[in-house]
Amino acid sequence: MRVLVIEDEHKIARALKKALEQEHYAVDVSYDGDDGLAMATTEPYDVMIVDRMLPGGHDGISIVKAVRERSIGTPILLLTALGRVEDKTTGLDSGADDYLIKPFALEELLARVRALLRRPVEQHSTVLDADDLSLDTAKRSVKRGNKEIRLTSKEYGLLEFLLRNKNRPISKNTIMQHVWDYDADILPNTIEVYIKYLRAKIDKPFKGKGLIKTVRGFGYKIEDDKK
Protein backbone atom coordinates (compact mmCIF):
# COMPACT_ATOMS: atom_id res chain seq x y z
CA MET A 1 0.00 0.00 0.00
CA ARG A 2 1.26 3.40 -0.97
CA VAL A 3 1.03 6.40 1.35
CA LEU A 4 1.50 10.09 0.62
CA VAL A 5 2.56 12.30 3.54
CA ILE A 6 2.20 16.07 3.07
CA GLU A 7 3.83 17.72 6.08
CA ASP A 8 6.11 20.76 6.23
CA GLU A 9 7.69 19.96 9.60
CA HIS A 10 10.63 17.84 8.51
CA LYS A 11 11.08 16.15 11.85
CA ILE A 12 7.48 14.91 11.92
CA ALA A 13 7.54 13.97 8.24
CA ARG A 14 10.68 11.90 8.72
CA ALA A 15 9.26 10.16 11.80
CA LEU A 16 6.06 9.31 9.89
CA LYS A 17 7.96 7.98 6.90
CA LYS A 18 10.12 5.79 9.10
CA ALA A 19 7.18 4.42 11.11
CA LEU A 20 5.09 3.75 8.00
CA GLU A 21 7.97 2.07 6.20
CA GLN A 22 8.48 -0.23 9.16
CA GLU A 23 4.87 -1.28 8.60
CA HIS A 24 5.76 -2.06 4.96
CA TYR A 25 4.02 0.87 3.33
CA ALA A 26 5.54 2.66 0.36
CA VAL A 27 5.85 6.28 1.50
CA ASP A 28 6.19 9.50 -0.48
CA VAL A 29 6.76 12.75 1.39
CA SER A 30 6.00 16.27 0.25
CA TYR A 31 6.96 19.33 2.33
CA ASP A 32 4.63 21.92 0.85
CA GLY A 33 1.03 22.24 -0.28
CA ASP A 34 1.51 22.95 -3.98
CA ASP A 35 3.91 20.09 -4.54
CA GLY A 36 1.78 17.83 -2.34
CA LEU A 37 -1.38 18.55 -4.30
CA ALA A 38 0.41 17.81 -7.57
CA MET A 39 1.51 14.41 -6.20
CA ALA A 40 -1.91 13.67 -4.68
CA THR A 41 -3.66 14.20 -8.01
CA THR A 42 -1.20 12.44 -10.32
CA GLU A 43 -0.01 9.39 -8.38
CA PRO A 44 -2.20 6.50 -7.21
CA TYR A 45 -2.09 6.43 -3.40
CA ASP A 46 -3.99 4.16 -1.03
CA VAL A 47 -3.93 6.61 1.86
CA MET A 48 -2.93 10.26 2.23
CA ILE A 49 -1.81 11.92 5.46
CA VAL A 50 -2.13 15.68 5.12
CA ASP A 51 -1.10 18.39 7.58
CA ARG A 52 -3.69 21.15 8.03
CA MET A 53 -1.24 24.12 8.00
CA LEU A 54 1.17 24.15 5.07
CA PRO A 55 3.30 26.73 3.27
CA GLY A 56 2.47 27.53 -0.34
CA GLY A 57 -0.87 28.26 -1.99
CA HIS A 58 -2.65 25.18 -0.63
CA ASP A 59 -3.29 24.30 2.99
CA GLY A 60 -4.54 20.87 4.09
CA ILE A 61 -8.22 21.71 3.68
CA SER A 62 -7.82 23.04 0.15
CA ILE A 63 -5.80 19.95 -0.81
CA VAL A 64 -8.56 17.67 0.46
CA LYS A 65 -11.20 19.65 -1.45
CA ALA A 66 -9.17 19.69 -4.65
CA VAL A 67 -8.57 15.93 -4.42
CA ARG A 68 -12.29 15.21 -3.90
CA GLU A 69 -13.27 17.57 -6.73
CA ARG A 70 -11.22 15.37 -9.02
CA SER A 71 -13.29 12.40 -7.81
CA ILE A 72 -10.27 10.79 -6.15
CA GLY A 73 -11.70 8.73 -3.28
CA THR A 74 -8.43 7.85 -1.52
CA PRO A 75 -8.87 7.89 2.28
CA ILE A 76 -7.37 11.02 3.82
CA LEU A 77 -6.19 11.54 7.40
CA LEU A 78 -5.79 15.20 8.34
CA LEU A 79 -3.21 16.25 10.95
CA THR A 80 -3.46 19.43 12.91
CA ALA A 81 -2.10 21.35 15.86
CA LEU A 82 -5.48 22.99 16.29
CA GLY A 83 -7.80 21.14 18.61
CA ARG A 84 -10.91 23.23 18.28
CA VAL A 85 -14.18 21.60 17.33
CA GLU A 86 -14.84 23.90 14.35
CA ASP A 87 -11.48 22.99 12.81
CA LYS A 88 -12.29 19.34 13.09
CA THR A 89 -15.70 19.89 11.50
CA THR A 90 -14.20 21.92 8.65
CA GLY A 91 -11.69 19.16 8.03
CA LEU A 92 -14.26 16.40 7.87
CA ASP A 93 -16.71 18.51 5.84
CA SER A 94 -14.03 19.18 3.26
CA GLY A 95 -13.90 15.44 2.51
CA ALA A 96 -11.25 14.11 4.90
CA ASP A 97 -12.04 10.72 6.47
CA ASP A 98 -10.32 11.11 9.79
CA TYR A 99 -8.61 13.69 11.92
CA LEU A 100 -5.67 13.48 14.30
CA ILE A 101 -4.54 16.22 16.67
CA LYS A 102 -0.83 16.89 17.27
CA PRO A 103 1.00 15.74 19.24
CA PHE A 104 -0.03 12.15 18.65
CA ALA A 105 1.52 8.76 19.32
CA LEU A 106 2.83 7.06 16.19
CA GLU A 107 1.01 3.90 17.27
CA GLU A 108 -2.26 5.75 17.09
CA LEU A 109 -1.52 7.14 13.66
CA LEU A 110 -0.66 3.66 12.38
CA ALA A 111 -3.90 2.27 13.81
CA ARG A 112 -5.92 5.00 12.07
CA VAL A 113 -4.17 4.32 8.76
CA ARG A 114 -4.95 0.62 9.07
CA ALA A 115 -8.61 1.44 9.78
CA LEU A 116 -8.82 3.68 6.72
CA LEU A 117 -7.39 0.96 4.52
CA ARG A 118 -10.01 -1.51 5.71
CA ARG A 119 -12.88 0.61 4.42
CA PRO A 120 -14.32 -0.36 1.06
CA VAL A 121 -13.26 2.03 -1.67
CA GLU A 122 -16.78 2.59 -3.00
CA GLN A 123 -17.66 4.31 0.25
CA HIS A 124 -15.23 7.10 -0.63
CA SER A 125 -16.52 7.73 -4.12
CA THR A 126 -18.23 11.08 -4.38
CA VAL A 127 -20.54 9.92 -7.18
CA LEU A 128 -23.88 8.18 -6.59
CA ASP A 129 -25.73 6.80 -9.59
CA ALA A 130 -28.72 4.87 -10.88
CA ASP A 131 -29.05 3.97 -14.52
CA ASP A 132 -27.80 7.03 -16.48
CA LEU A 133 -28.48 9.42 -13.59
CA SER A 134 -25.47 10.55 -11.53
CA LEU A 135 -25.09 12.81 -8.53
CA ASP A 136 -21.67 14.12 -7.52
CA THR A 137 -21.67 14.89 -3.80
CA ALA A 138 -18.39 16.87 -4.05
CA LYS A 139 -19.60 19.17 -6.82
CA ARG A 140 -23.24 18.98 -5.75
CA SER A 141 -24.15 18.43 -9.38
CA VAL A 142 -26.70 16.12 -10.99
CA LYS A 143 -26.71 14.76 -14.53
CA ARG A 144 -28.84 12.43 -16.56
CA GLY A 145 -26.80 11.18 -19.47
CA ASN A 146 -24.73 14.22 -20.36
CA LYS A 147 -27.41 16.70 -19.45
CA GLU A 148 -26.89 18.80 -16.33
CA ILE A 149 -29.99 19.05 -14.10
CA ARG A 150 -30.49 21.98 -11.76
CA LEU A 151 -32.18 21.11 -8.47
CA THR A 152 -33.16 23.17 -5.45
CA SER A 153 -31.46 22.35 -2.19
CA LYS A 154 -34.37 20.19 -0.95
CA GLU A 155 -34.79 18.36 -4.25
CA TYR A 156 -31.08 17.62 -4.18
CA GLY A 157 -31.25 16.36 -0.59
CA LEU A 158 -34.18 14.11 -1.42
CA LEU A 159 -32.47 12.68 -4.50
CA GLU A 160 -29.22 12.08 -2.62
CA PHE A 161 -31.07 10.22 0.12
CA LEU A 162 -32.95 8.02 -2.36
CA LEU A 163 -29.74 7.26 -4.26
CA ARG A 164 -27.86 6.34 -1.07
CA ASN A 165 -30.66 3.84 -0.44
CA LYS A 166 -30.94 2.71 -4.04
CA ASN A 167 -33.19 -0.31 -4.76
CA ARG A 168 -34.63 -0.18 -1.23
CA PRO A 169 -38.16 1.06 -0.57
CA ILE A 170 -37.94 4.03 1.79
CA SER A 171 -40.93 5.08 3.87
CA LYS A 172 -42.17 8.65 3.73
CA ASN A 173 -41.46 8.93 7.43
CA THR A 174 -37.82 7.90 6.98
CA ILE A 175 -37.45 10.35 4.10
CA MET A 176 -38.86 13.10 6.28
CA GLN A 177 -36.45 12.33 9.12
CA HIS A 178 -33.37 12.29 6.90
CA VAL A 179 -34.10 15.07 4.45
CA TRP A 180 -35.93 17.65 6.51
CA ASP A 181 -34.58 19.17 9.70
CA TYR A 182 -36.28 18.97 13.03
CA ASP A 183 -37.82 22.44 12.84
CA ALA A 184 -39.11 22.21 9.28
CA ASP A 185 -42.79 22.86 8.57
CA ILE A 186 -43.95 19.59 7.10
CA LEU A 187 -47.46 19.09 5.75
CA PRO A 188 -48.91 15.61 5.17
CA ASN A 189 -48.32 15.96 1.42
CA THR A 190 -44.90 17.65 1.52
CA ILE A 191 -43.01 14.52 0.49
CA GLU A 192 -45.42 13.85 -2.42
CA VAL A 193 -45.03 17.43 -3.59
CA TYR A 194 -41.23 17.20 -3.63
CA ILE A 195 -41.27 13.80 -5.32
CA LYS A 196 -43.43 15.41 -8.00
CA TYR A 197 -40.95 18.28 -8.43
CA LEU A 198 -38.09 15.81 -8.65
CA ARG A 199 -39.81 13.59 -11.22
CA ALA A 200 -40.55 16.65 -13.33
CA LYS A 201 -36.80 17.32 -13.50
CA ILE A 202 -35.09 13.94 -13.54
CA ASP A 203 -37.67 11.64 -15.16
CA LYS A 204 -40.20 13.52 -17.29
CA PRO A 205 -37.82 15.29 -19.72
CA PHE A 206 -36.02 12.02 -20.47
CA LYS A 207 -37.43 9.26 -22.57
CA GLY A 208 -37.15 5.78 -21.13
CA LYS A 209 -38.18 4.57 -17.73
CA GLY A 210 -38.85 6.72 -14.71
CA LEU A 211 -36.30 6.07 -11.98
CA ILE A 212 -38.43 7.06 -8.98
CA LYS A 213 -40.96 4.35 -8.20
CA THR A 214 -43.93 4.74 -5.88
CA VAL A 215 -44.27 1.97 -3.32
CA ARG A 216 -47.97 2.05 -2.69
CA GLY A 217 -49.04 2.90 0.85
CA PHE A 218 -45.41 3.14 1.98
CA GLY A 219 -43.05 5.46 0.19
CA TYR A 220 -40.63 5.51 -2.72
CA LYS A 221 -37.54 3.93 -4.16
CA ILE A 222 -35.07 4.56 -6.92
CA GLU A 223 -34.53 1.57 -9.12
CA ASP A 224 -31.28 0.68 -10.82
CA ASP A 225 -31.36 -2.45 -12.94
CA LYS A 226 -27.57 -2.60 -13.22
CA LYS A 227 -26.97 -3.25 -9.53
Instruction: State the residues that interact with Ca ion by CB under 5 A.
Output: 8, 51, 53
* Residue 54: how many other CB atoms lie within 10 Å: 25
Q: Which is nearer to Ca ion, 79 or 202 (CB)?
A: 79
* E strand segments, the chain: 2-6, 26-30, 47-51, 76-80, 98-101, 127-130, 133-136, 141-144, 147-149, 170-171, 212-215, 219-222
Distance in Å, CB of 226 to Ca ion, minimum: 44
Identify which of residues 60 and 73 has a Cβ nearer to Ca ion in the complex. Answer: 60
CB of 20 to Ca ion, least distance (A): 18
Nearest approach in angstroms of CB 181 to Ca ion is 36
What is the closest distance, in whole angstroms, from the C-beta atom of residue 156 to Ca ion in the complex?
35
Q: Which is nearer to Ca ion, 49 or 211 (CB)?
A: 49
| Residue nearer to Ca ion on the CB measure, 8 or 28 | 8
Q: Which residues, in sequence order, are CB contacts of 112 under 8 Å at separation 6+?
A: 77, 98, 100
